[in-house]
Amino acid sequence: MTSSVALGAPGVYELPEPPVHALTGVRMDACAFAGVAPRGPARVRTTLPDGVTVIRRRSVAVEVGSWDDYVRLYGAFEGPGRLPWAVSAFFDQGGARAYIVRLVHEYGDDADNDTAVAHGLLGTVPLRARSEGAWGNSLEATLTFTASPLTFYAAQSTTTAVALATDSQLPAGALLRIGSALRVVTQVIDVGLGDGPETLRYATLDVPLPAAPTAADVVEGTFAVDDRDGRAETFDSLGLSPAHPRYIGDVLQDESELVEPDGAWDDVRPADASLGAIVTAGFVDGLDRYADLVPGDAFDAAWIPGDENDDLTFPAGVHCLLGNDDVAMLVVPDLYEPSPVPPDEDILSPPNLAGPTFERCADPPAQPNQAVDVPQLVNLMLDPTLPSDLETITALQSQLADLAAYSRGFVVLLDVPPGLHDRDILTWRTRFSTAFAACYHPWLLASRLDTSYASPVEVNPSAVAAGIVAQRELAVGIPFGPANEIAAEIVDVVDRVSPQRHAVLHQSNINVFLHEQDGVTLTAARTLSRDPSWRQLSVRRLVTMIERALERRMQWVVFEPNNFELRGLLTQLLRTFLRGLYQANAFTGANEAEAFFVRCDDSNNTQQTEETGQLICEIGLAPAEPLEFILVEIARAGDGTLRVGDTGG
């Protein structure tokens, strides 16, 4: 232990406090959503580790903590697709964290890749909207130059340098206005005065002056941008040279959610020393290319196992989530489009013609036709009632389930394709056999007050289920099954399942939403596994949580000496961790010995194991399954009375 202390002369040294090793659980409530949005991060500019190469990542996962956060980045209900309905339903149920993957089309190396991005020209400063879409055409940006007097010593200044006070905060890269000339400060250095300790700070200029300055101003920029839809940004105290610590190009690239530099910005300065404001006339060329989207855009066709561990490879589509160890659930509301979401202009309620007195009925005035066609996801439209389309849908969902099983970190929540008869639903279900997927039926009807939709809209049941799963975890913990919960903001189901049908679907591990007296209720939380041990979603999530906790909290074990002391410490930590879960009713068993075991001793760590640098620790668990059935016995006694009692189950 003394090897960690730097020893000098003989004496007494204080040993540092030993590191505290603790093992705690991790959160499993974050859900990722992949779908179509009118705006938001996509084709994100990323610099490779070499510091030079810049690429565009088609897909990125961005965390949002509320519905308002989502709207700020991705817009609300103005586009096609069900992503906003899915995300809003998740937060309505009580979800707290979501990761959003905006799906855009893969154009490969086609130069047309950039035409979907809105462009604008701010003086000599090329800009583009932060993300593709017609929304960027509404952007308006302003760059204003301001000047403030600079305090300096005129007598000590020269044609190539300005003498400053030692405590001056003028940075390199600052732009100075000296008379009618503009000069950039290339460096700021301290120079001693004679043999004494006094110094002056000199700011050297990029271009010599005709004469030593007698007055100077510091020129800074203020950049403002507004999308004229409630989103605006302002950045001030901006430098106009790449050497400046708040260089405008870097600030916009790193901090703006609306715009980014388009290409290299080598020199940003006013055309002259008058310092007037330059205003863009507006951005152009932004396009919504919804019609180009195909089901394959939800994935990365070039992905191979292991790419998520390569610093030079950035998987697209849902594959970009493989490197994210925070996501515990995945919902893809726009994997396909069973029917388009109707535009709100088409389903507004007719005008109310009622008046204060009874009068003869009048015909309502003709409603104006919609002037612009609403874009649709034409290449994502698949009809589940057609065998060929159903086969395509099933193949896409199987690809998601396989990805979740490969990840072993998240569970994908699937929607039973709408419009199927029960026999077809059961046939569809036979295509899946994994504990890393769960399915939900039927589709739900949602209504929100913050939209102009007059009629409820069909919403993916998986999104509502994800919110219920997250809310249950935050309220009572992972071990408790996320079922028997009323769905918030859901007014009805598309298909009202009868008790007889429900019994058949439940036995096939299909989680059903029922329309009941109190509202729409999620009645089960099963996976699509055929193994009874992994039948319950809570069991799969509990084991995944334990695996994540061990992987995150036990990295300190690497390079520790593999000896009796280490194995004893690991055993103690694991027992304490599992004991806490047992006390929280996560495991079954009358005592700890029946609920779990930890084995990390000479029986599984032989001399050969130690010589190969391995440490083996075995954990056994008996997860508690949620109670699903209560059997009630009704018996008639000889005297004619009835006795009612439950028999457990």
Beta strands in 481-608, from DSSP E residues, in sequence order: 485-486, 490-493, 511-516, 519-522, 596-599
Tell me: the pLDDT tens digits for 115-149?
A: 445 565 555 567 889 998 999 889 998 888 889 99
- In whole angstroms, what is the distance from residue 560 CA to residue 543 CA? 26
Residues 6+ apart with CB under 8 A from 115: 285, 287
pLDDT score, position 445: 95
- In whole angstroms, what is the distance from residue 295 CA to residue 270 CA? 48
Q: Which residue has the tokens 């610093």?
A: 311
DSSP 156-171: G--SSEEEE-TT--PP
Boundaries of every domain in the chain: 119-279, 290-346+373-539, 561-649
Tell me: the pLDDT tens digits for 493-503?
A: 999 999 999 99
Q: In this prediction, what percent of the chain has a pLDDT beyond 70?
A: 83
Query: What is the value of pTM for the model shown?
Result: 0.85
Contact 558, 550 (CB under 8 A): no
Give the single-character DSSP code of 239: B
Residue scoring higher pLDDT (555 or 408) = 408
Tell me: the pLDDT tens digits for 452-489?
A: 676 889 999 999 999 999 999 999 988 887 888 999 99
pLDDT score, position 197: 67
Q: Which residue has the tokens 């396909």?
A: 336
The pair phi, psi for residue 493, each rounded to 5°, is -115, 150
With 70 as the cut, is the pLDDT of residue 642 above it? no
Contact 332, 35 (CB under 8 A): yes
- In whole angstroms, what is the distance from residue 214 CA to residue 238 CA? 25
Mean pLDDT over the full length of the chain: 85
Using CB atoms within 10 Å of the CB of residue 158, give its burial: 0 to 12 exposed, 13 to 18 middle, 19+ buried: middle
Segments in 14-97 forming alpha helices (H): 67-74, 83-93
Residues 6+ apart with CB under 8 A from 203: 152, 161, 162, 164, 170, 174, 176, 185, 187, 188
Which residues make beta-bridge pairs with 219?
A: 147, 175
pLDDT score, position 292: 93
DSSP 559-577: TS--SHHHHHHHHHHHHHH
The pair phi, psi for residue 340, each rounded to 5°, is -70, 145
Which helix (DSSP H) or strand (DSSP E) does residue 249 occupy? helix 248-255
Which residues make beta-bridge pairs with 645?
A: 633
pLDDT confidence bin for 346, thresholds 50/70/90: very low
Give the single-character DSSP code of 451: S
Which of 124, 141, 130, 138 shows the shortest CA–CA distance to 284? 138
What is the arithmetic mean of pLDDT over 323-328? Answer: 92
pLDDT score, position 18: 54
pLDDT score, position 1: 40
Which of 423, 421, 472, 417 shows the shortest CA–CA distance to 441? 417
For the chain, the farthest-separated pair of C-alpha atoms sits apart, in whole angstroms, at 121
Supply 385's token pair.
């009632």
- In whole angstroms, what is the distance from residue 339 CA to residue 46 CA? 36
pLDDT confidence bin for 364, thresholds 50/70/90: low
- In whole angstroms, what is the distance from residue 552 CA to residue 24 CA? 10
What is the arithmetic mean of pLDDT over 181-194? Answer: 88
- In whole angstroms, what is the distance from residue 471 CA to residue 477 CA? 9
pLDDT score, position 219: 93
With 60 as the cut, is the pLDDT of residue 22 above it? no
pLDDT confidence bin for 351, thresholds 50/70/90: low
pLDDT score, position 414: 98
Tell me: the pLDDT tens digits for 367-410?
A: 544 434 557 899 999 999 999 999 999 999 999 999 999 999 99
- In whole angstroms, what is the distance from residue 313 CA to residue 384 CA? 35
- In whole angstroms, what is the distance from residue 525 CA to residue 523 CA? 7
Our measurement of the distance from residue 289's CA atom to the centroid of its chain's CA atoms, rounded to an integer in Å, reads 23
pLDDT confidence bin for 2, thresholds 50/70/90: very low
pLDDT score, position 464: 98
User: What are the contacts of 577-580 at 24+ separation with CB within 8 A?
Assistant: 577/23, 577/24, 577/25, 577/549, 578/619, 578/621
Angle at 516 between CA 511 and CA 521, to 5 degrees: 35
Q: Which residue has the tokens 């809209």?
A: 457
Beta strands in 150-230, from DSSP E residues, in sequence order: 161-164, 175-178, 181-192, 199-205, 217-226
At 222, the amino acid letter reads T
pLDDT score, position 370: 44
Name which of 258-262, 300-304, 461-465 the model is least confident about: 258-262
What is the signed CA dihedral for 70, 73, 77, 83, rounded to 10 degrees?
-60
pLDDT score, position 115: 43
Tell me: the pLDDT tens digits for 595-618?
A: 889 898 888 888 888 778 788 888
Tell me: the pLDDT tens digits for 38-53?
A: 999 999 988 888 877 8
- In whole angstroms, what is the distance from residue 649 CA to residue 643 CA? 18
What size, in residues, is the chain? 649
- In whole angstroms, what is the distance from residue 482 CA to residue 473 CA? 8
Strands 511-516 and 490-493: unpaired
Strands 490-493 and 485-486: unpaired
pLDDT score, position 124: 59
pLDDT score, position 340: 84
Strands 437-441 and 411-415: parallel
- In whole angstroms, what is the distance from residue 459 CA to residue 246 CA? 45
pLDDT score, position 473: 93
- In whole angstroms, what is the distance from residue 443 CA to residue 459 CA? 6
Name which of 31-45, 76-90, 210-224, 252-266 the model is least confident about: 252-266
